[in-house]
Structure 1
Amino acid sequence: MDRLTHVGLLVLLGAVTVVVSVTDAHLAYVRPGFRPFLLGAGVLLLALGVLGLTRGHATTRSARPAPSAHDHEHGTTPRVAWLLLLPVAVMFLVAPPALGAFTVARRAQCVRASRA
């Protein structure tokens, strides 16, 4: 993956995280008290991605020195890095339903019964 792909994944993941945390969709993944942390993480990812885009754009405009024989890259990023796209795909394709009151009450009873 090249730098633009890395930055694009950051922007995409940050945008999805912000959208999920602003809507009530985050309740399917985390507790309501984690909303500010989720929103902060999404804004941070989005800001880092936008910063990377602006820095990358400025780098491409500046004059680069002539590459030597040993400056070319050999694909140093592992292919497993594409797995960063997996959380974004899960958010878009598989949205779990929000927990209903019955499920929450049943889980609370199970926790109380196991502690007793």
Structure 2
Amino acid sequence: MRRYGSAVLLLLMGGAVLRISLFSELYLRYVQPALRPYLVISGVLLMLLGSVAAVRGMRQGEEEEGHDHPQGHAHGGPRIAWLLTLPALALLLFPPPALGSYSASREEAQRAAQGVGTFSALPAGNPLDISVAQYSSRAIYDTGHSLKGRTLRLTGFVTHGSHGTWYVTRLLVTCCAADATISKVEIHGDEADGAPQTDSWVTVTGVWIPKGKLGTDGAWPPVLKATTVTQVKEPADPYDKR
């Protein structure tokens, strides 16, 4: 059986990669959409390599059947190598979820380093759908106050702070989940009473409330006065866009 170890590992890993990238959209929990073709190609290559390794193992077994071997002679690596199948099986059978409130609580947003300035005008629309990252950037850095007087709609997952505060939160990835950074907006107003459950997804509609001096820690986190809070399903792509 040991001669098939490498084949089994390659086939399991290839199957797991194809499961999340070719046959579903689970890969969006871990990487950007643009990386999907590379995942599919990698999965196919792993399956091909595993098939080749399996065929070679079968041929090796047939060749050894006609030869005598000393007692106690064994082929293959240590049995502990089979533990390498566990990550592949986990990805194949129980894909880990996208990053959530735990990751958000451990990630410090980088704020004042970029400085302040005038942002471009927002598109027409009332309410206007805007990403949590865009709202945060404009609330903290925009000297033109482009959020003023607009009704805005944000979607994200819920995180909680101290003294009953809660936030609409989104993680932004450049390449994959390993480089995720956080954007969050503090929710105020009567509709904010009775905070939703941590990690639940909500769409919040409301208006911007200025806070602190632009470009400083006093402006973080930005605030939205909510007029409606609606629970929604987690989107297929849970990460934010710039």
If the length of structure 1 is used for normalisation, what is the TM-score?
0.70
Of the candidates 38, 55, 66, which is equivalent to residue 68 of structure 2?
66
Correspondences of 1:84-103 after superposition (within 5 Å): 84-91=84-91, 92-97=93-98, 102=156, 103=170
For residues 87 and 37 of structure 1, what CA distance do their matches in structure 2 show?
Answer: 20
Bigger fraction of residues in helix: 1
Matches of 1:47 and 1:56, distance apart in 2: 14
Please state if 1:13 is matched with 2:19: no
**Structure 2 unpaired stretches of 5+:** 101-154, 157-169, 173-180, 185-214, 216-242
Aligned to 2:42: 41
Q: Which has the higher contact order (CA 8 A, sep 6+)?
A: 1
As a proportion of its length, which structure holds more strand? 2
Contact 1:13 1:42 in 2 (8 A): yes
- Code of the residue aligned with 2:15 in structure 1: it is A
Q: How many residues align?
A: 109
Query: What is the distance in 2 between the residues matched to 1:51 and 1:21?
Result: 23
**Compared with structure 1, are the counterparts of its residues 74 and 7 closer, same or farther at alpha carbon in structure 2 (3 Å cutoff)?**
closer
1:7 Cα offset (Å):
1.3
Percent identity over paired residues: 30
2:29 and 2:183 mapped to 1: Cα distance? Answer: 20
Provide structure 1 residue ranges, at least 5 long, that are not aligned to the other structure: none
In the aligned structure 1, how far is the partner of 2:183 from the partner of 2:94?
32
Q: 1:45 to 1:2 in 2, by over 3 A?
A: same
Larger Rg: 2
Instruction: State the Cα distance separating 1:83 from its structure 2 match.
Output: 3.1
- Distance in 2, matches of 1:61 and 1:4, equals 13
1:42 CA displacement: 0.9
SS of 2:17 mapped into structure 1: helix
Q: Which residue does the alignment assign to 2:31?
A: 30
1:83 maps to 2:49: no
Give the distance between the partners of 1:5 and 1:87, measured in 2 at CA: 15
The 1:55–1:76 alpha-carbon spacing in structure 2 relative to 1, beyond 3 Å, is closer
Answer with 45-54 or 83-92: which moved more: 83-92
